[in-house]
Amino acid sequence: MDLGPYTSFIATSYLAAALVVVLLIGWIAIDYRIQKARLRALEESGISRRSGRAATDLQ
């Protein structure tokens, strides 16, 4: 595929979009792991929810 004289502008646009999407996915995935770890630590310290279910129970 020949993108002509403006290849750098086109490639930078697509790479920037890919980078931002990967960073968003990574941030959300890491945040999920952090919150789950915090809930697990709270559960292990004996703190339970109003409903009595485990803190890490997502159902």
Give the residues lining the site for other proteins (CB under 8 A): 1-7, 9-10, 12-14, 16-17, 20-21, 23-25, 27-29, 31-32, 35-36, 38-39, 42, 45-52, 55, 58-59
Report the distance separating Cα 42 and Cα 46, nearest Å. Answer: 7
All residues at 6 or more sequence positions from 26 whose CB lies less than 8 Å from its CB, including other chains: none
Contact 55, 41 (CB under 8 A): no
> Least CB distance from residue 26 to other proteins, whole Å?
11
> Least CB distance from residue 9 to other proteins, whole Å?
5
> Least CB distance from residue 37 to other proteins, whole Å?
10
The two three-digit tokens of residue 8, written as one number: 């750098």
